[in-house]
């Protein structure tokens, strides 16, 4: 496969549509019809071969209809049959766009041509994104490029669109800033679903049943099909209207155009517009992605990332002018994303250079708009990600082919045996053969598979886990390696500042007793902001500021609460960057009576990063911080540098490099990160459930190894791969306490290293192995338990390498630093920072048994009513409020209303809303707990096993049906219309309840089989069918002995009940119902059969109905379904055979399951 053009498109081809007469479903068939009519009329003769001729015409007609339908089902087939391919896009009218896997479906899109001064421009729109042809260099289509890669100088000097002509050109190029989604009409969507392959196939089957005079059964099936599809269409329309509401509503905004500030609607904004943006009023969100030029903001990004903590955004005016904007690096700090909310803004200074708006808003430059923004990308993910894949499509196809072999054998037998009797109606015979072939593909298949995934989606939503890509749920059942970030994922956000070490050796001083310079570093070096009455920002920084007992004001100043010391104002921040592992701040104060401000630079970061920046290092620097890290504490080195008096201009021109050198050492701040309440139990459960677990963190390797040991991720001695140093001249493995030192490469990797020690790799070691020992890296990677000091890009590399080695990976982290890894993992789970660890009280109460009035009603007690006088004093408004609450309803009605409300919520929960989903990951947990990973794996396993057992049940039922319709058909056995309808109803009920199985509360050590097409499934299906086949043959022979047929069978005669028909109907129905009980997987992946009450009741009802019919307990019902009374001795034989059959099938399945029925973890 060729390399994809970008993240969305795999490849593009060009074509023109041919005239209709030359389409593949018209021209060839004109010749075929003509040829057959000539052969039929001129050579064979219509009188001798009347039926054969009609059957051949019907087959040709069916092939033509199928060919034309294939043009609807597959864009590839449509292009092959209706289009002429061209290589030059300028000679084409249409383009076939194939998206990358799991990114929507192939589309045929119209090409548009625009003539401008640069020549002829060629473009198309695919999935709401405009693609333009680069005719000069690349000769390929590229997404519309936006002005997001210029220098800071370019942005600062830009003065918006100066002329009306420029605005018109930009509007033509970029389009308007709207995220409108056209909602199709009901009939359009229904037409789309009604021409889907399975629906057409089901309607075709219904037509065949009608021809075979199964009127009731056909009408019942058709009604069920149409009702199901109509419900899905209705749900789809509701979801579309919900997604449509997610787009931003236009409002008036100030824009600098034609050299003046104008008021325009936000949906008219264009990339490169200069706008004034202020605090969001009402529900006015940031209308598109903007670069902040002047004035800082605090933004709530929960609609995009799901994170509830507002983040600080700084203007680019402080950056170096020749710096080129990098959206990945600079976007987090300097770009306001569309769909977010500005909660606080500071107007730009009036004295500084640059534009100022009349409404005192911050000045921003529009980078991207419409569906190209971060919000637009999330909406496109929700709209276009593949939602239907529940099992491997290739395997499903192979499984159906496997069943088709049996059906072809049965149909061939019927045709060969039937044609021997020259009096038999060939038309009826052909119809029966077709019915046998179609019985292999169960019409319920797509419904059952979608039900299984929807049930899991719903269950996860109730656990506050939201999924934007449901096709990933079955992947969760196949996970081999679970990777976790440490900080904020496994460890809590409730950090404890133990104090400051390194000033008096390893002694830890309480933060409040540290020297003034150390306290000043802790008080100023942070990114916290005061929002209204609340301080927001990183929990670690909040804990540090509280520990030194200083407070932050709205004017970016920090002042001591108790201590007699002067405050400091923060003038400039060089923000923390994962790649740099440090942050620095310029702060200052004006001494009493002085005119000039005295400045101080404060720095904090990873001890090994800051080590080279200190000019006066204590001799025990390494030993102190390593000792603290070994016991699991988070260690940050602190440094400062007095800058003296400086002008504002000098402060602005001071670079990061100027500050981060010749620093004075101010100690190590020691912060303990306690584990989250359920981290230990969750990791233990995941490990016991046959998964590999590893930790991938940016933290110190010693701290990471300590946490890994606490969580039992590592159980043996851990060795870390370290670079050459004073004691070792080459790369080597070293234990945490330095007691073990091993050569890096001159030992037997498996025998002397992997089988003896747990491994830890650092980011530095990863880079070295990647460049110098790539083969060794492939061996080490799946066996490494801890990855420490890794950059975000390296997290992504670890996940993609593990995937390329065939491991199914899960990554769990926060939605900010781990985006790449979360996106690339088979299952990415974003835990939201600062989210609660437990269910909100309100929700938990609703999920528990209803208490109060509702509970009393169900305990047989009536709630006490208020005194009559009190009741009478209700005002009109109070009454309305009471009615709205439902106080006027009787307790039972209230319960019903509550249940209806829950049902409505269930429907809504299938749609993921903005604010629930994170742009970072397919799964988002609104609860900050690793237990969410356990829930996802449980649901994944449950869905996988449900799919597997459905295939087994459908296969067995199809085989039983194929036999009943073939061999028995020739003996004159045929079900009546009423019998077929009842059989359909009972099976539909069982299928509905089997797909709603719930997982167990704990994960099992056993792993489910990852694929449908496996030895266990094949063997159990063949052996169970052999058991059923034996039972059927034996009972048919016994029935024939009791009721022998004298005259030849007339298949066209009206249905008459007889002993043979009754026997076959009862046993085939008993066998089909028993397959549910026998093949229900149950524990250890889902609730046992006895706990799945709806299914148990459904099976008991079906079994009861079969016993009643077999024993003739209710003669009227037996007459209704055209069954005869079985002789008492034969009835006992039938019941004995059925029971023996069920027990034998059960024993066969359990033996096969014991021997071959569990999955194996991929060996590392």
Q: Which residues are catalytic?
A: 485
**Cα 734 to chain center, whole Å?**
40
Give Cα separations from 592 to 519, 530, 596, 662 (angstroms): 21, 26, 10, 28
- For tokens 């169960």, the residue is 442
For the chain, the first-to-last Cα distance in angstroms comes to 28
Give the CA-trace dihedral at 1025, 1026, 1032, 1037, to 10 degrees.
160
Alpha-carbon distance of 753 to 718, in angstroms, equals: 10
- Per DSSP, what are the bridge partners of residue 721? 733
- Contact between 230 and 238 under an 8 Å Cβ cutoff? The reply is no
Assign 735 to helix, strand or coil.
Answer: strand
What tokens were used for 411?
A: 């149909």
- Contact between 276 and 261 under an 8 Å Cβ cutoff? The reply is yes
- Contact between 495 and 671 under an 8 Å Cβ cutoff? The reply is yes
- Per DSSP, what are the bridge partners of residue 275? 255, 364
- Contact between 795 and 696 under an 8 Å Cβ cutoff? The reply is yes
What tokens were used for 805?
A: 């080695």
Give Cα separations from 94 to 140, 314, 423 (angstroms): 15, 45, 56
What tokens were used for 369?
A: 């708009």
Polymer length of the chain: 1164
What tokens were used for 612?
A: 């080279």
- Cβ count near 1018 (within 10 Å): 16
Which among 811, 794, 800, 796 is positioned nearest to 692, based on CA atoms?
Answer: 811
- For tokens 């593009």, the residue is 12
- Contact between 5 and 100 under an 8 Å Cβ cutoff? The reply is no
Peptide bond into 1084 cis (omega under 30): yes
State which H helix or E strand residue 1023 sits in: helix 1015-1042
Which among 221, 233, 239 is positioned nearest to 194, based on CA atoms?
Answer: 233
* Contacts with 317 (C-beta within 8 Å, 6 or more apart), sequence order: 156, 293, 294, 348, 352, 354
- Cβ count near 406 (within 10 Å): 20
Instruction: Tell me the torsion sign for CA atoms 800, 802, 803, 804.
Output: positive
Which among 910, 871, 907, 905 is positioned nearest to 888, based on CA atoms?
Answer: 871
Alpha-carbon distance of 604 to 590, in angstroms, equals: 24
- Cβ count near 849 (within 10 Å): 8
What tokens were used for 1097?
A: 């009741």
Assign 585 to helix, strand or coil.
Answer: strand
- Contact between 567 and 558 under an 8 Å Cβ cutoff? The reply is yes
- Per DSSP, what are the bridge partners of residue 297? 313, 345
* Contacts with 403 (C-beta within 8 Å, 6 or more apart), sequence order: 440, 955, 958, 959
Q: 188: burial class by Cβ within 10 Å (0-12, 13-18, 19+)?
A: exposed
What tokens were used for 194?
A: 């009604």
Alpha-carbon distance of 575 to 577, in angstroms, equals: 6
What tokens were used for 858?
A: 């169900």
- For tokens 């985006």, the residue is 819
Alpha-carbon distance of 511 to 638, in angstroms, equals: 13
């Amino acid at each position: 496969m060729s390399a994809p053009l970008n993240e969305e498109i795999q490849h593009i081809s060009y074509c023109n549509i041919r005239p209709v007469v030359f389409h593949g479903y018209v021209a060839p068939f004109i010749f075929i019809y003509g040829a057959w009519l000539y052969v039929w009329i001129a050579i064979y003769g219509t009188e001798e071969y009347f039926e054969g001729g009609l059957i051949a015409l019907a087959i040709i007609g069916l092939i033509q209809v199928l060919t034309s339908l294939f043009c609807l089902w597959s864009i590839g087939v449509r292009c092959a049959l209706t289009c002429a391919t061209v290589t030059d896009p300028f000679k084409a009218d249409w383009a076939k766009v194939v998206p990358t896997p799991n990114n929507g479906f192939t589309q045929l899109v119209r090409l548009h041509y625009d003539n401008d001064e640069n020549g002829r421009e060629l473009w198309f729109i695919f999935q709401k994104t405009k693609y333009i042809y680069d005719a000069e260099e690349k000769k390929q289509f590229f997404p519309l490029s936006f002005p997001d890669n210029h220098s800071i100088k370019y942005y600062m000097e830009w003065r918006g669109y100066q002329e009306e002509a420029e605005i018109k050109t930009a509007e033509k190029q970029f389009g308007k800033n709207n995220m409108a989604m056209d909602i199709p009409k009901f009939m359009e969507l229904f037409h789309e679903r009604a021409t889907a392959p399975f629906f057409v196939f089901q309607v075709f089957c219904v037509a065949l049943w009608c021809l075979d005079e199964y009127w009731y059964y056909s009408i019942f099936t058709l009604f069920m099909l149409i009702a199901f599809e109509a419900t899905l269409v209705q749900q789809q329309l509701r979801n579309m209207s919900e997604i449509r509401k997610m787009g931003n509503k236009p409002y008036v905004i100030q824009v600098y155009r034609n050299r003046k500030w104008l008021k325009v609607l936000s949906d008219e904004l264009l990339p490169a517009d200069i706008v004034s943006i202020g605090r969001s009023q009402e529900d006015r969100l940031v209308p598109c992605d903007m670069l902040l030029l002047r004035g800082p903001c605090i933004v709530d990004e929960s609609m995009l990332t799901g994170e509830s903590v507002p983040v600080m955004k700084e203007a680019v005016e402080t950056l170096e002018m020749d710096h080129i904007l990098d959206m990945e690096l600079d976007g987090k700090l300097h770009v306001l994303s569309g769909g977010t909310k500005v909660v606080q803004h500071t107007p730009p200074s009036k004295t500084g250079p640059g534009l100022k708006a009349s409404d005192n808003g911050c000045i921003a430059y529009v980078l991207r708009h419409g569906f190209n923004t971060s919000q637009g990308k999330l909406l496109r993910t929700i709209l276009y990600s593949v939602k239907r894949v529940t099992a491997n499509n290739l395997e499903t196809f192979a499984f159906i082919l496997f069943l088709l072999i049996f059906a072809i054998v049965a149909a061939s037998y019927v045709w060969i045996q039937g044609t021997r009797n020259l009096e038999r109606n060939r038309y009826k015979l052909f119809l029966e053969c077709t019915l046998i072939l179609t019985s292999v593909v169960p019409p319920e298949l797509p419904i059952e598979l979608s039900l299984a995934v929807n049930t899991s989606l719903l269950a996860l939503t109730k656990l506050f886990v939201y999924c934007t890509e449901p096709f990933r749920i079955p992947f969760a059942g196949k996970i081999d390696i679970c990777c976790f970030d440490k900080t904020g994922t496994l460890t809590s956000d409730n950090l404890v500042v133990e104090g400051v070490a390194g000033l008096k050796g390893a002694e830890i001083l309480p933060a409040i007793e540290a020297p003034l310079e150390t306290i000043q570093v802790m008080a100023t070096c942070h990114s916290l902001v005061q929002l209204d009455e609340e301080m927001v920002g990183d929990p670690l920084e909040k804990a540090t500021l509280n520990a030194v007992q200083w407070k932050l004001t709205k004017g970016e100043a920090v002042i001591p609460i108790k201590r007699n010391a002067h405050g400091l104002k923060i003038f400039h921040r060089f923000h923390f960057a994962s790649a740099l592992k440090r942050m620095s701040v310029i702060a200052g104060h004006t001494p009493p009576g002085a005119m000039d401000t005295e400045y101080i630079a404060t720095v904090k970061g990873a001890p090994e990063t800051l080590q080279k920046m200190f000019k006066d290092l204590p001799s025990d620097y390494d030993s102190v911080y390593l000792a603290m890290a070994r016991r699991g504490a988070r260690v940050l080195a602190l440094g400062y540098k007095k800058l003296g008096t400086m002008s504002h201009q000098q402060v602005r021109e001071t670079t990061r490099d100027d500050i981060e050198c010749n620093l004075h050492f101010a100690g190590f701040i020691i912060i303990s990160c306690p584990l989250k309440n359920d981290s230990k139990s969750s990791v233990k459960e995941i490990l016991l459930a046959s998964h590999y677990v590893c930790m991938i963190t940016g933290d110190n390797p010693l701290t990471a190894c300590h946490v890994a040991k606490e969580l039992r991720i590592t159980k043996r001695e851990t060795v870390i791969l370290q670079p050459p140093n004073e004691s070792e001249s080459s790369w080597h493995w070293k234990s945490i306490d330095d007691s073990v030192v091993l050569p890096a490469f001159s030992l037997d990797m498996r025998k002397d290293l992997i089988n003896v020690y747990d491994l830890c790799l650092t980011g530095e070691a990863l880079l070295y192995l990647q460049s110098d020992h790539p083969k060794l890296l492939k061996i080490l990677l799946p066996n490494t338990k801890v990855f420490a000091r890794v950059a975000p890009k390296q997290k992504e590399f670890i996940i993609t390498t593990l995937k390329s080695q065939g491991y199914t990976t899960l990554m769990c982290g926060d939605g900010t630093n781990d985006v790449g890894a979360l996106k690339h993992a088979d299952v990415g789970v974003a835990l939201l920072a600062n989210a609660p660890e437990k269910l909100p009280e309100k929700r938990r109460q609703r999920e528990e048994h209803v208490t109060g009035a509702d509970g009393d009603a169900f305990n047989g007690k009536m709630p006490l009513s208020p005194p009559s006088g009190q009741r009478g004093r209700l005002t009109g408004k109070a009454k309305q409020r009471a009615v709205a609450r439902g106080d006027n309803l009787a307790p039972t009605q209230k319960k019903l209303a509550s249940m209806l409300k829950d049902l409505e919520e269930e429907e809504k929960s299938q749609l993921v809303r903005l604010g629930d989903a994170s742009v970072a990951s397919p799964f988002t947990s609104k609860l900050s707990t690793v237990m969410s990973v356990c829930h996802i794996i449980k649901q994944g396993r449950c869905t996988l096993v449900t799919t597997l057992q459905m295939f087994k049940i459908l296969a067995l039922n199809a085989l039983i049906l194929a036999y009943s319709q073939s061999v028995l058909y020739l003996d004159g056995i045929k079900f009546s219309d009423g019998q077929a309808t009842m059989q359909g109803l009972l099976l539909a009920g069982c299928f509905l309840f089997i797909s709603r199985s719930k997982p167990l509360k704990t994960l099992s050590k056993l792993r489910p089989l990852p694929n449908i097409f496996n030895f266990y499934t094949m063997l159990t299906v063949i052996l169970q069918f052999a058991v059923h086949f034996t039972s059927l043959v034996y009972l048919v022979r016994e029935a024939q002995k009791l009721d022998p047929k004298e005259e030849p069978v007339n298949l066209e005669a009206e249905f008459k009940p007889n002993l043979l028909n009754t026997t076959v109907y009862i046993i085939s129905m008993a066998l089909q119902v028993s397959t549910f009980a026998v093949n229900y997987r149950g524990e250890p992946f889902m609730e046992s059969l006895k706990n799945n009450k709806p299914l148990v009741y459904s099976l008991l009802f079906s079994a009861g109905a079969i016993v009643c019919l077999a024993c003739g307990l209710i003669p009227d019902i037996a007459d209704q379904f055209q069954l005869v009374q079985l002789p008492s001795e034969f009835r006992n034989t039938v019941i004995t055979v059925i029971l023996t059959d069920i027990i034998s099938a059960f024993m066969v399945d359990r033996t096969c399951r014991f021997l071959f029925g569990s999955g194996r973890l991929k060996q590392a």
